[in-house]
């Protein structure tokens, strides 16, 4: 055993060598983030939970046209529509269900919606012990929409559904279509 | 369409022209459109439909004609010799595209909320032409016209193609719609811009290529692609319409017709096969299938009240008690009734159950109410009990005699065939009816005869034909003895006697007879006022005399059509579900047929047999202890004078099998829930002799089951199983016994016809009424267009259209009695009196009043006597004499 070897053994050089990387990382910013104490920034185009939206005056956008139901590849949407008893000619959705356990988050329903009533949000935390809670009904979807309105609007803009506020006006059909009377 | 029928349509000279470098020859007067369609090409068009004449409003069917600068509308331009037409060119494509774009400029883009979305011709065209820009948009912003009971008119969407107006005017001949200009826009409105008051057939809805006319009952509920569609037969009347039942998981959402804008290309003459449309009952009368009043579980009476039970309990109870009664009193203590609304398979299974498992021939069906008279008399006289005229024969007839039938109300689609003949083939339509019916208003020869004198009218016709020497040569030679006997017999009738009976002069009879014998093909439409009369059997024999005299026997295209009230009355006869009929429609006492049936079943057939009226007597005297009624409700149908309630209360066992809890069912010991026609498979034999497939469109409500399945299960529990697993097996069984069961027999004059004729004319044709003093009005129960039997009064939709349980009286009688529409009156007969609302009807003759037979509230039917035809045993209970008094409000 040479003197050097002896010295190395005395100061436990091999362990120091091994710890060198560890010590180095004492001064490096950690890559792990502390979910759920910390949250990741989600891109605007993220396909999270679906929601139903209202117009700014609080009126429901959805006209119950069943096109989302037709577009859905996993057949998780059910719309029950009828004529609004108060406003003749106006079609409304009396019930609206999305079975989120079946949903594949493809976003086709949002694309199909002629009135931009559907949007996807950045919400992804809805795990539950009761599977029934994952059957989103109309009230729940509007609740998500009201909570996540900013996200939902950003989603529509990013996906070219509503380009910007000015251009979006032309998409804002309100059925029945009632043009302004001249004069 | 068969070649034979095409040849009936007038031959015309042909014209040669060139279409897309191809030479074609078409009859003169054909439009370019039809010529192109005939080549197998299509030109898009929105206002064209083969059922009516081209209108040329949409401007899409453009073609290029050499020598003309602008493209021409091909549907309204007739062909000319040597014409050179180009269809498939780029220029024409663009011209048509421009025309569609023009429609889109005034059409709102509210497709997402429109009911026609996915079933819209304008949508399809926009897609096919690849239209993405539509230029300046001009919206109408009109409110919806919601005045009609069944249809909403959204004129924003209307493209003014006028298909609705044309089909109503030319095919249905009701002419209820018109164009109307208001507020700078043209609208489609009901005549006079009022609430729509038409026959509500909904054919306008079917042909509308956009969503301008929408169905109120299914508005905004579903999109077309969400509904499962099944083509099945309608089970209201015997016209045998095929219809598309559109269902979701557990409910019928709407019924659509085969007639639609999608099916628009055909030869105009193909309307003879039926234009595919429906009547108000077929299209709007489906809500009874979804009704919450439907029976969902079997009921067994326990401690005096019906209680829900399981199928196992219920069928075991029925089987046990039937077996006990059979053991104690013999098989003839059990009787069975079945409605002719059941399928052929149900009817066959039930008669086999009664005759084999139970071992009795105490069996009857609702075909007894009128059709039985026809079958018995025609078989006796001409050897063929079933009507022999086909569906197309009515359209192509030269002369149509409608006697005793308000056919537009009872059988609307048959009426359309008559109207088709009237409009397109110039048929001489002769209508003999006391009331000025809808058809009488259109017919060239309407005759208002006295109430109940239909038989005398037919005799008068026969007399006129013979005495005016209108008997064809062929007939006079072939049936010399019969004609001679008939000549002698009609000589005994006096014109004065006929005039006092019918109210028609000799000249009127002569005129009618001349019109009737004018052509070769003659059809008699034989309504229920002929058969459902105390002398129904004799009346049908009088028809046979007229057929003989005018040479209709053995003449192709000639014959009688019997518009039955219930969809499968012919099937009930064919399946043998009547005491006097064997499977195959043979007489029950026909030894050869008996032997065949007995050997097929591997047993013997019971002797004897009891029909409905005798059955009630048997129950009253205690001879019959048990009654098994499928779909029949004698308590609700027959008048109180028939003593049904008293009879039924004497029964040891009353089993009813129905979709609803009927009056009879409320008295029953066991009630079994049955599936409706839309919920089972099978076949109907319609009034025109066509075998109509019945296809299951949705699952039966609750635990309801098809009638044959219930019967088969009870048979199994009684130890004599009917081994059937589906309806097809039953049908095969029936076809094995009688291969020609669903075909009409040949008509030939029976021997002995000549010998009987004289006796038929010995008594007056009008049965002498029992003392009519004090009861000056003739009351009859009649069928309205909007209802069929009692079943339709369970239908929410039809009740919304018509729920008028009012007594109709003539205007003059109303004046004399001081009654106006809406007043109440007391109606009395020797059998009692009821209070009822009154409606004045301008079409009724004085001295006549009528009440819709579908309503039992108030019980007007109980005022009428029931008389049974001595030969056919058909009970007649729809006419009688009454007194009307005003009731102070």
Span B722-759, pLDDT tens digits? 889 999 999 999 999 988 888 877 788 888 888 888 88
Per-residue confidence (pLDDT) for residue B383, from 0 to 100: 84
pLDDT tier at B339 (50, 70, 90 boundaries)? Answer: very high
| Structure confidence at residue B407 as a pLDDT band (50, 70, 90) | very high
**How many alpha carbons lie under 13 Å from residue B170 in its C-beta half-sphere?**
17
How large is the greatest C-alpha to C-alpha distance in chain B, in angstroms? Answer: 93
Q: Which pLDDT belongs to residue B2?
A: 43
Q: In chain B, what percentage of residues exceed pLDDT 90?
A: 71
CA pair distance B562, B539, nearest whole angstrom = 13
DSSP-assigned beta bridge partners for residue B14: B27
At residue A179, the pLDDT reads: 42
What is the CATH code for B388-561? 3.40.228.10
Strand arrangement, sheet containing B522-526: B445-447, B428-432, B399-403, B522-526, B559-561
- Asked if B416 contacts B423 with a C-beta cutoff of 8 angstroms, the reply is no
- State the angle between helix axes of B454-467 and B506-517 in degrees (0 to 180), rounded to the nearest 10: 70
Taking CA B611 as the corner, what is the angle to CA B607 and CA B614, rounded to the nearest 5 degrees?
A: 105
Question: Which token pair is B766?
Answer: 């009008």
Q: Band of the pLDDT at B771, cuts 50, 70, 90?
A: low
The pLDDT confidence band at residue B400, using thresholds 50, 70 and 90, is very high
User: Is A107 a residue whose pLDDT tops 70?
Assistant: yes
- Over residues B91-96, the mean pLDDT reads 94
- Average pLDDT value for residue range B235-255: 93
pLDDT, tens only, B151-166: 999 999 999 999 999 9
| Candidate from B143, B154, B226 with C-beta closest to A66 | B226
Is A99 in contact with B97 (CB distance < 8 Å)? no
pLDDT at B834: 94
Confidence of residue B304 (pLDDT cuts 50, 70, 90): confident
Angle at B483 between CA B529 and CA B473, to 5 degrees: 110
Average pLDDT, integer, range B557-580: 92
pLDDT value of residue A164: 55
Question: Residue B92 above 70 pLDDT?
Answer: yes
Task: State percent of chain B over pLDDT 70.
Answer: 98
Q: Say if CB B792 and CB B281 are below 8 A apart.
A: yes
Average pLDDT over residues B662-689: 94
Domain topology for B3-103: Ubiquitin-like (UB roll) (3.10.20)
Per-residue pLDDT of B478-532, as tens digits, reads: 899 999 999 999 998 899 989 999 999 999 999 999 999 988 899 999 988 888 8
Q: Which of B110, B123, B220, B225 to mutate to test the interface with A (most CBs of A within 10 A)?
A: B220
Size of interface A-B (CB pairs under 8 A): 54
Which residues in A lie closer than 8 A to residue B144 (C-beta atoms)?
88-89
- pLDDT value of position B247: 95
How far off is chain A from B61, nearest CA to CA, in Å? Answer: 30
User: Does the pLDDT of residue B767 top 60, yes or no?
Assistant: no
Residue A171 confidence (pLDDT) above 80: no
Residues carrying CATH 3.30.70.3270, chain A: 50-171
Separation between Cα atoms, residue B546 and residue B748, nearest integer Å = 14
Give A177's pLDDT tier (boundaries 50, 70, 90). very low
The highest-level CATH class for domain B299-367+577-737 is: alpha beta
| pLDDT tens digits, B829-865 | 999 999 999 999 999 999 999 999 999 888 999 999 9
Residues B602 and B633 sit within 8 Å (Cβ to Cβ): no
Summary mean pLDDT of chain B: 91
CB contact B110 to A (< 8 Å): yes
Give the three-class secondary structure for B37: helix
Decide if A70 and B223 are in contact by the 8 Å CB cutoff. yes
Q: Which residues of A touch B111 (CB under 8 A)?
A: 114
Q: Would you say B844 and B810 are in contact if contact means Cβ atoms under 8 Å apart? A: yes
Q: Under 8 Å CB-to-CB from B148, ≥6 apart: which residues?
A: B190, B195, B196, B216
CATH number corresponding to A50-171? 3.30.70.3270
Q: What pLDDT score does B769 carry?
A: 54
Is the confidence at residue B768, as pLDDT, over 60?
no
Look at domain B140-287 and name its CATH class: alpha beta
- Where in chain B are the domains? 3-103, 140-287, 299-367+577-737, 388-561, 777-887
CA distance B642 to B866: 6
Predicted confidence (pLDDT) at residue A182 exceeds the cutoff of 70: no
Is the model's pLDDT at B430 over the cut of 90? Answer: yes
Kindly determine whether residue A88 and residue B146, on different chains, have CB atoms separated by under 8 Å: yes
Chain A residues near residue B139 by CB distance under 8 angstroms: 177, 179
Q: Which residue from A64, A70, A88 is facing B144, i.e. has the nearest CB?
A: A88
Per-residue pLDDT tens digits for B201-221: 999 999 999 999 999 999 999
CATH class of B777-887: mainly beta
Q: pLDDT-derived band of residue A175, with 50, 70 and 90 as boundaries?
A: low
Q: Which pair of tokens denotes residue B773? A: 């003093």
Q: Which of B112, B219, B225 sits opposite A63 (nearest CB)?
A: B112
Is the per-residue pLDDT at B111 higher than 80? yes
A64 contact residues in B (CB cutoff 8 A): 113, 220
- Please give the Cα distance from B784 to B471 (Å, whole number): 37
A18-58 residue pLDDT tens: 899 888 888 888 888 888 898 889 999 999 999 999 988 88
What is the reported pLDDT for B253? Answer: 94
């Amino acid at each position: 055993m040479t003197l050097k070897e002896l010295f190395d053994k005395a100061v436990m050089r091999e362990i120091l060598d091994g710890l060198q990387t560890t010590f180095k990382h004492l001064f490096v910013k950690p890559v792990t983030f502390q979910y759920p104490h910390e949250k990741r920034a989600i891109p605007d185009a993220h396909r999270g939970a679906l929601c139903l939206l209202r117009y700014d005056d609080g009126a429901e956008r959805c006209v119950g046209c069943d096109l989302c139901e037709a577009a859905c590849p996993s057949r998780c949407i059910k719309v029950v529509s009828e004529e609004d008893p108060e406003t003749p000619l106006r079609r409304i959705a009396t019930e609206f269900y999305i079975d989120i356990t079946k949903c594949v988050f493809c976003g086709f329903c949002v694309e199909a919606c002629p009135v931009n009533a559907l949007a996807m949000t950045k919400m992804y935390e809805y795990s539950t012990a009761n599977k029934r809670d994952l059957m989103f009904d109309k009230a729940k979807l509007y609740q998500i929409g009201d909570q996540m309105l900013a996200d939902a609007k950003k989603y529509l803009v990013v996906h070219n559904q509503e380009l910007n506020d000015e251009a979006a006006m032309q998409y804002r059909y309100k059925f029945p279509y009632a043009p302004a009377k001249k004069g | 369409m068969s070649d034979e029928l095409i040849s009936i349509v007038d031959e015309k000279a042909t014209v040669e022209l060139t279409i897309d470098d191809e030479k074609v020859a078409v009859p003169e007067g054909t439009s370019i459109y039809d010529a192109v369609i005939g080549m197998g090409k299509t030109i898009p068009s929105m206002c064209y439909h083969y059922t009516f004449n081209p209108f040329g409003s949409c401007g899409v069917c453009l073609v290029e004609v050499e020598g003309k600068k602008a493209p021409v509308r091909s549907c309204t331009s007739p062909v000319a010799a040597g014409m050179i037409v180009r269809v498939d060119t780029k220029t024409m494509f663009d011209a048509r595209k421009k025309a569609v774009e023009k429609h889109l400029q005034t059409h709102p883009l509210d497709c997402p909320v429109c009911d026609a979305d996915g079933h819209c011709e304008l949508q399809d065209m926009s897609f096919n032409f690849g239209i993405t820009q539509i230029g300046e948009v001009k919206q109408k912003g009109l409110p919806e016209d919601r005045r009609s009971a069944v249809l909403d008119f959204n004129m924003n969407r209307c493209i003014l193609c006028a298909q609705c107006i044309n089909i109503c005017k030319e095919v249905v001949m009701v002419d209820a719609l018109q164009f109307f200009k208001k507020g700078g826009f043209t609208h489609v409105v009901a005549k006079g811009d009022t609430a729509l008051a038409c026959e509500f057939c909904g054919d306008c809805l079917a042909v509308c290529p956009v969503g301008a006319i929408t169905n109120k009952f299914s508005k905004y509920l579903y999109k077309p692609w969400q509904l499962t569609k099944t083509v099945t037969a309608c089970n209201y009347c015997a016209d045998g319409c095929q219809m598309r039942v559109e269902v979701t998981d557990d409910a019928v959402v709407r019924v659509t017709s085969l007639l639609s804008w999608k099916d628009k290309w055909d030869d105009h003459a193909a309307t003879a096969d039926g234009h595919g449309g429906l009547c108000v009952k077929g299209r709007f009368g489906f809500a009874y299938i979804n009704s919450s009043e439907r029976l969902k579980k079997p009921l067994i009476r326990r401690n005096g009240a019906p209680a829900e039970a399981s199928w196992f309990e219920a069928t075991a109870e029925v089987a046990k008690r039937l077996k006990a009664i059979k053991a104690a009193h013999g098989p003839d203590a059990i009787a069975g009734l079945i409605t002719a609304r059941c399928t052929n398979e149900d009817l066959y299974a039930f008669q086999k159950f009664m005759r084999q498992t139970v071992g009795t021939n105490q069996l009857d069906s609702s075909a007894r109410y009128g059709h039985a008279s026809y079958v018995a008399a025609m078989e006796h006289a001409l050897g063929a009990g079933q009507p022999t005229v086909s569906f197309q024969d009515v359209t192509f007839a030269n002369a149509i005699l409608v006697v005793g039938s308000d056919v537009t109300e009872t059988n609307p689609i048959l009426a359309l065939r008559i109207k088709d003949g009237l409009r397109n083939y110039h048929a001489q339509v002769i209508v003999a009816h006391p009331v000025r019916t809808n058809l009488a208003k259109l017919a060239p020869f309407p005759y208002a005869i006295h109430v109940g004198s239909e038989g005398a009218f037919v005799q008068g016709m026969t007399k006129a034909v013979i005495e005016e020497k209108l008997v064809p040569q062929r007939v006079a030679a072939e049936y010399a003895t019969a004609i001679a006997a008939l000549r002698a017999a009609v000589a005994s009738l006096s014109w004065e006697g006929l005039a006092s009976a019918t109210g028609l002069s000799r000249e009127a009879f002569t005129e009618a007879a001349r019109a009737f014998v004018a052509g070769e093909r003659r059809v008699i439409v034989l309504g229920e006022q002929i058969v459902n009369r105390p002398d129904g059997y004799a009346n049908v024999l009088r028809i046979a005399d007229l057929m003989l005299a005018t040479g209709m026997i053995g003449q192709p295209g000639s014959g009688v059509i019997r518009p039955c009230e219930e969809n499968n009355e012919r099937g009930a006869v064919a399946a043998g579900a009547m005491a006097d009929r064997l499977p195959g429609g043979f007489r029950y006492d026909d030894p050869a047929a008996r032997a065949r049936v007995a050997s097929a079943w591997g047993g013997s057939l019971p002797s004897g047999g009891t029909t409905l009226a005798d059955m009630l007597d048997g129950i009253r005297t205690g001879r019959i202890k048990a009654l098994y009624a499928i779909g029949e409700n004698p308590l609700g149908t027959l008048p109180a004078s028939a003593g049904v309630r008293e009879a039924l209360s004497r029964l040891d066992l009353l089993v009813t099998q129905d979709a609803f809890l009927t009056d009879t069912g409320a008295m029953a010991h066991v009630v079994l829930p049955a599936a409706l026609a839309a919920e089972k498979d099978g076949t109907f034999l319609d009034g025109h002799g066509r075998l109509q497939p019945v296809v299951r469109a949705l699952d039966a409500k609750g635990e309801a089951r098809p009638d044959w399945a219930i019967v088969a299960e009870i048979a199994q529990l009684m130890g004599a199983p009917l081994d059937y697993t589906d309806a097809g097996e039953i049908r095969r069984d029936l076809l094995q016994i009688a291969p020609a069961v669903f075909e009409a027999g040949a008509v030939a004059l029976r021997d002995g016809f000549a010998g009987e004729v004289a006796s038929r004319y010995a008594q007056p044709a009008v049965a002498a009424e029992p003392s009519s003093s004090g009861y000056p009005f003739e009351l009859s129960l009649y069928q309205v267009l909007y209802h069929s039997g009692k079943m339709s009064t369970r239908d929410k939709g039809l009740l919304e259209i018509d729920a008028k349980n009012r007594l109709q009286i003539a205007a003059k009688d109303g004046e004399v009695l001081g009654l106006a529409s809406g007043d109440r009156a007391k109606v009395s007969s020797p059998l009692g009196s009821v209070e009822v609302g009154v409606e004045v009807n301008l079409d009724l003759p004085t001295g006549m009043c009528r009440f819709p037979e579908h309503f039992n509230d108030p019980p007007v039917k109980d005022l009428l006597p029931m008389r049974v035809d001595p030969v056919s045993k058909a009970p007649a209970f729809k006419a009688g004499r009454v007194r009307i008094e005003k009731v102070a409000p």
